Amino acid sequence: MSDLAEFARELHEQSSEGEDRPLEAVACPSIGDRLTDIRAVVFDVYGTLINYWRSAMEQKEGLQGIFFDACGKVADRFGFTDYLTAMNPEEAPAKTLYDLYCGLIAIRREGALRPGISNPEIKIEEVWGTILLMLKRHGYRADNLQGMTGELPRQVAYAYNFFSLGRRLYPGVTEALSALRNSSIDLGIVSNAQFYTPIDLTLLVRDQSQGKFEDFNELFDPDFTIFSFEWGAAKPDPLLFRKLFDALYEHRILPQQTVFVGNDLVLDIEPAAAAGMKTAFFAGDRKSAYFHDREGEIIPDIAFSSFRDLPAMIAFHSSPAER
């Protein structure tokens, strides 16, 4: 196990951030209630598989408070506080760190713009690497610094994400994924993500399945797993779907034999439908269901409010009328 994986596991086992809250389903119109002749089902992650919502996110001030709090925890855990104070004695260390983080993200995203990419993605560990270099100039040292190119930037990035967002799978996810695989359906992911996303998926799948699955790749086909940070583009950029289609083609699976499952009409359902895929909208959590005031305009093929219902709504075989 790598130092990063061990760090993530220990943090996860100490205090898995998240909230127990009742999930409220939301109404979403759909074209039908069942899909047949399906060979692959591809999922978004955040808000679809992973419940990231925290109650403080209700208000802008609460959301900013979450991020300030996460920056404070990161600064304390990695020994940044005194050096952040030296960098900007007029502000609280957590705010200084948060301002650096947001500013560098904006700069890197602007620098990542290039022809053919409408929604660039960055690698978040590079942002933290730059922050560490700035701290180093003010005297910061760490035993495992490794010239700022090793595990430390990723450990800091992982910790910040851990303290910022809720981290748990929606109820019934692993059972639904297992049932779909047992029906000879291939599973994949197309998601806006960072390096820590597959780490968290593995930890959360392991927990929810009670050890039945040790790694998320036991459920998902790596050929159909497309993370934004690997390609420098984020949804709804068509590049991610082109990469998926290349993989599907290699396995002789057509777009119309593929279902894309997401929680956002604009980022998930609209681009997937435009690419010729069937679509499924997860409507089981009002907090993570994003309509962008386009209900009735963007209509998924099916909608579901519980993952326990999903396997019965997707069939590998055609219906008798289609044969």
> How high is the pLDDT of residue 14?
80
Give the domain-ending residue among 164, 199, 223: 164
Provide the pLDDT confidence category of residue 115 given band limits of 50, 70 and 90. confident
Domain-ending residue, one of 115, 134, 164: 164
**How many helices (H) and strands (E) in the chain?**
12, 8
pLDDT digits (tens, 9 = 90+) for 201-219: 999 999 999 999 999 999 9
Same domain for 292 and 187, yes or no, is yes
Domain boundary among 107, 140, 164: 164
- pLDDT of residue 2 exceeding 80, the answer is no
Long-range CB contacts for residues 137-140, cutoff 8 Å, separation at least 24: 138/83, 138/86, 138/87, 139/83, 139/86, 140/79, 140/80, 140/83
Least confident of 29-43, 50-64, 135-149, 242-256: 135-149
> Which residues neighbour 22 within 8 Å (Cβ) at sequence distance 6 or greater?
none
In the chain, the number of structural domains is 2
Is residue 312 domain-shared with residue 200, that is, in the same domain? yes
Across 155-246, where does the E strand assignment appear? 168-169, 186-191, 225-227
Please indicate, yes or no, whether residues 75 and 134 belong to a single structural domain of this protein: yes
> Which SS3 state, helix, strand or coil, does residue 179 take?
helix
Q: In which band, very low, low, confident or very high, does the pLDDT at 323 lie, cut at 50, 70 and 90?
A: very low
pLDDT tens sequence across 73-114: 999 999 999 999 999 999 999 999 999 999 999 999 998 888
Q: Tell me the HSE value of 296 on the side-chain side, using a 13 A CA sphere.
A: 1
Range 58-80 average pLDDT: 87
| Distance, CA of 268 to CA of 279 (rounded, Å) | 8
What residue numbers bound the domain in which 70 lies? 57-164
Instruction: Identify which has the larger pLDDT, 71 or 316.
Output: 71
- The one-letter code for the residue type at 103 is G
Compute the average pLDDT of residues 222-228: 97
CATH number, domain at 213?
3.40.50.1000
Q: Are residues 46 and 103 in the same domain?
A: no
- Answer for the pair 304, 24: CB distance below 8 angstroms, yes or no: no
* Helix/strand/coil for 42: strand
Query: Residues 257, 301, 305, 164: is their CA dihedral positive or negative?
Result: positive
Pairing outcome for strands 50-51 and 168-169? antiparallel
- Start-to-end CA distance of the chain, whole Å, equals 49
pTM over 0.85: yes
Confidence of residue 147 (pLDDT cuts 50, 70, 90): very low
Give the HSE-up count for residue 65: Cα atoms under 13 Å, Cβ half-sphere. Answer: 9
